[in-house]
Structure 1
Amino acid sequence: MTQHPTPDERRPANDGPKAAARNRAALIAAAREVYAEQGLDAPLSGIARRAGVGQGVLYRHFPDRAAVADAVLEENVREVEQAGAAPGATLAGVLGVLTWHLTESAAFIGLLHPDRTGGRPDDVHAHASALSERVERSLRVHLGDGHRLGASDDLMLAIAMVSGAVTGPTREERERRALAAWRLLGVEVGPVRPFGG
């Protein structure tokens, strides 16, 4: 015998654009987590599952794997920019946000090494370079005169060195190693947390 749902048991009305924005944000957050755990080759179905949406919803927002990674990278850069532009922002505080992204997002580390194209098409390399430059601008405005990372390439070289140290099976281990690398470089880092966290 088939039972039909009563009016109270039916699915809620479609929230339209609100639901779409929530789903997109959930997919980006899930992708960041899944990439941190499994790397950039993680199955897209796992990202959709972690976000609590169907795979069709993922493909409505992101047509392919590259688009998902690009959205995570863009969100990471946007948060570093917001941290850098916040009232009272300091280099240490912005580095804390950057370091959080390094420990949370495997995709972010490749961005900070745009000179290593690894066979990527020129447009992908150019986009990665542009994102990397945005990160550098967000940090450079907080470098005081005579700061040890003030020379032309020193800031991004230090970030590349720290990102190379961000290894380990857990986020805590990756954070510990990142902070140790900053300490060895003699650079103060604020609390390691997402912007606004």
Structure 2
Amino acid sequence: MGNREQTFQKILEVAYVMFAEKGFEKTSLAMIAAEVGISKPAIYYYFQSKDQLISFLFEELYKEIQYDIVVDYKELSPSNFIEKLLKIGYKSIDEQDKDPYFNKIFSQYLLLAARDDHYMQQLLELQSDYLARFYDIFQYAVQLEVLDENANIEAKAHMLAMLYDNIGNFMLTGSQLNYKAIWREAVHSVIQGGKDE
């Protein structure tokens, strides 16, 4: 990796942490440049404005979040369906546990979305995508006969999607809950309660 690429990555890493800890309003490009070890004019080579940097980071986070719920349907079977569903939640919990900045910076984007329709639209699309992905997984569960075809799979899928999303919010507050146990209970409840209803 060349010096320009290294500097670019360093800017992103520093901005990610500073935006999470101080917020968008209280973080300037000059502060980011100083932390990276470059001059303020030099940062403009990479980003023309703080808004452009904020937007770029959001796009990166957006892609990362979308990738979180990727299921290889060829790997799913009646015998491992619950295990695979559990892993989706466990992976998210582990990643958020390792990255104390993710929920903080995402909260900044939620605040930004309250006054910027562009971000609001993207967050709504992300939310719709979450719901659709869980619904697709549950439709496949019916094909595998893990769930009965008369089960209310839309409500079940949306319930898990909402829990998946909200676990992160609780983690942000520092609530010391057994998130994996909660996820496990929810998965078993919607699957085992969804047979022959």
Query: TM-score, with normalisation over the residues of structure 1?
Result: 0.57
More displaced stretch, 69-78 vs 154-163: 154-163
CA distance in 2, matches of 1:154, 1:124: 24
State the match for 2:9 in structure 1.
Answer: 25
Q: Tell me, which stretches of 5 or more residues in structure 2 are unaligned?
A: 76-83, 148-152, 188-197
CA distance in 2, matches of 1:150, 1:28: 38
State the match for 1:56 in structure 2.
Answer: 41
Of 153, 159, 168, the residue aligned with 2:158 is: 153
Pairing of 1:62-77 with structure 2 (within 5 A): 62-77=47-62
Give the 3-state SS of the residue equivalent to 1:56 in structure 2.
Answer: helix
CA distance in 1, matches of 2:176, 2:42: 35
State the match for 1:194 in structure 2.
Answer: none
Identity across aligned pairs (percent)?
A: 12
Moved over 6 A (4+): 86-89, 137-143
Write 1 or 2 for the structure with the bigger share of helix.
2
State the one-letter code of the partner of 2:89: A
Aligned length: 162
CA distance in 2, matches of 1:125, 1:184: 29
CA distance in 1, matches of 2:71, 2:43: 32
State the match for 1:47 in structure 2.
Answer: 32
Of 162, 169, 189, the residue aligned with 1:164 is: 169
CA contact 2:62–2:126 (8 Å) conserved in 1: yes
| Superposition deviation, residue 179 in structure 1 | 5.7
| Superposition deviation, residue 128 in structure 1 | 3.0
Of 105, 108, 125, the residue aligned with 2:106 is: 108
Pairing of 1:76-95 with structure 2 (within 5 A): 76-85=61-70, 90-92=87-89, 94-95=91-92
Give the 3-state SS of the residue equivalent to 2:45 in structure 1.
Answer: helix
| Superposition deviation, residue 108 in structure 1 | 1.6
State the match for 1:191 in structure 2.
Answer: none
CA distance in 1, matches of 2:69, 2:43: 31
Q: 1:56 to 1:79 in 2, by over 3 A?
A: same
How big is each residue's C-alpha offset from its partner over 1:132-159, in whole Å with a ceiling of 9 and x where there is no partner? Answer: 455666777666666xx97353344324
| Superposition deviation, residue 30 in structure 1 | 0.8
CA distance in 2, matches of 1:48, 1:82: 30
Q: Tell me, which stretches of 5 or more residues in structure 1 are unaligned?
A: 1-14, 169-173, 189-197
State the match for 1:126 in structure 2.
Answer: 121
Q: 1:124 to 1:83 in 2, by over 3 A?
A: closer
State the one-letter code of the partner of 1:39: G
Computed over aligned residues only, the root mean square deviation of the Cα atoms, in angstroms, reads: 4.1
